[in-house]
Amino acid sequence: MRYFTLLNFEHLMWVALPTVIFIIVFGIALGFMVFRTEDSEARKQRVIYRYPEDIEDRNAPFPLAMLLIFAGTIIWSFFYILVHGLMGVKI
């Protein structure tokens, strides 16, 4: 049992908030998968390299959802460390 019950709520928010944001971003990503440019379709079709066993490599556009998830993870971890450092809590 902790001395301060508000600390339980704070830790719950540190876990639940990124999860909810991830679910929202992932849901949006299902509708908008990539940045569309004039050569997106050509890049999806053109084979750059063919590996043995007939595996093809293409220079397809990077999915927007993955970019947002990576950026969000990096930003969240930076602020997580920063806030815990400012509050004087050892990680």
Mean pLDDT of all residues belonging to the chain: 79
Contacts of 57 (CB under 8 A, 6+ apart): 47, 48, 49, 50, 51
pLDDT for position 32: 66
pLDDT for position 81: 85
> Would you call 80 helix, strand, or coil by DSSP?
helix
* Greatest pairwise CA separation for the chain in angstroms: 62
pLDDT single digits (tens) 46-59: 888 888 888 888 77
pLDDT for position 75: 93
pLDDT single digits (tens) 58-83: 777 677 777 778 898 899 889 888 88
